[in-house]
Amino acid sequence: MDGNDGVQWPVVGQQAGSQPKRGSGLKWFLVIIFGLLIVAAFVFSTYFLTHDDTRGVTVVRMEGTMVTGEASDGDVIGSEVVGRELRAAADDPMVEAIVLRVDSPGGTPSAAQEIIGDLEYAKTKKPVVVSMGDIGTSAAYYVSAHADRIYANPDTFTAGVGVIWKFSDISRWMSNEGYNVSVIKSGTKKDMGSTSRPLSAEEELYAQKIVSDSFETFIGDVTSQRMIARSDIDDGRVIRGADAVRINVIDELGNLHDAIEGAKKIAKSRT
C-alpha cells in the first residue's frame, strides 16, 4: 500500500482548510483614492480661500513696446505672447473673466491689430476688462478700446491716438566728414528713409499718405468701439486718466483690484 494514501498535506503559509481572503486589494485601492480626494479637496479649498480676490479672473499682462512675434523681455512685448494668453484664458472653463493689464506706450499698428483679433475672440466667450498702469497710449489704447471696460489711475497717461513715422538725415554731417555713399537701386523709392540723404518732395507726400491712411484706420476703429468725439482725440495728445474719464476715453478710475472686481461683476451679470 502506498504510504501517501489518506494523508492530507498542509499548504505552506496557509492553514489547512482555510481560503485566501478576497477583496483586500480593492479595499486598499479605495482607501488610497479616498485619501487622494481629501488631499485634493484641501488643496483646492486652501487656494480659493487665499485667492478670493482673483478667483475666476485671469490677469494677462501687456507691458512694454508692442511688436509682432514672440518677444517678451520687459521692454518689448510680442503680439503672439499676449494673444496666446488671451486665447488660453478664454478657453479655460475655470476662468470667468479676463483682465488685460496694460502698461505700454504703444508700438506697431500690426501688433495692435493682431492682439485685437485675439481679444475679440476672447470676448466671444467671457468679459475682457482693461486695467491701465502708468501708461496706455497709442497702439496700446488701440487694443484697449476693444475691451468691455477700461480702468485707469487718475495720472495714467492714455489716448495718444495717432501715427508717426520718423526720418533722419545725416547727409550734411557725412559730407563734412568725407563720407560718401553710393546706392544702386531698382526703384526711385527703394532707399527711401536712408539717413544718407533727405526725402524728396514726392517721398514726403507718399510717407504722409501712408501715415494718414493708417491713422484713419486707427481713429475710425477707436470711435466705432467707444462713444468718443473725434475732435477730442484726433490731435494725438496724451490725456491724464482723470481727464480721460470725462470724455469717455476710459470708463472708470481704479487700480488693478478694482478692475478685477469690475470684471467679476460683468461676468456675474451675464450668467
Of the residues 79, 104, 131, 138, only one is catalytic, namely 138
Longest dimension (CA), the chain: 129
- Amino acid identity of 65? T
Of the residues 189, 190, 209, 268, only one is catalytic, namely 190
Phi (first) and psi of residue 235, to 5 degrees: -85, -5
- What HEC string does the chain produce? CCCCCCCCCCCCCCCCCCCCCCCHHHHHHHHHHHHHHHHHHHHHHHHHHHCCCCCCEEEEEEECEEECCCCECCCEEEHHHHHHHHHHHHHCCCCCEEEEEEEECCECHHHHHHHHHHHHHHHCCCCEEEEEEEEEECHHHHHHCCCCEEEECCCCEEECCCCCCCCCCCHHHHHHHCCCCCCCCCCCCCCCCCCCCCCCHHHHHHHHHHHHHHHHHHHHHHHHHCCCCHHHHCCCCEEEHHHHHHHCCCCEECCHHHHHHHHHHHHHHHC
Asked about 265 being catalytic, the answer comes back as: no
Asked about 138 being catalytic, the answer comes back as: yes
Residues catalogued as catalytic? 138, 190
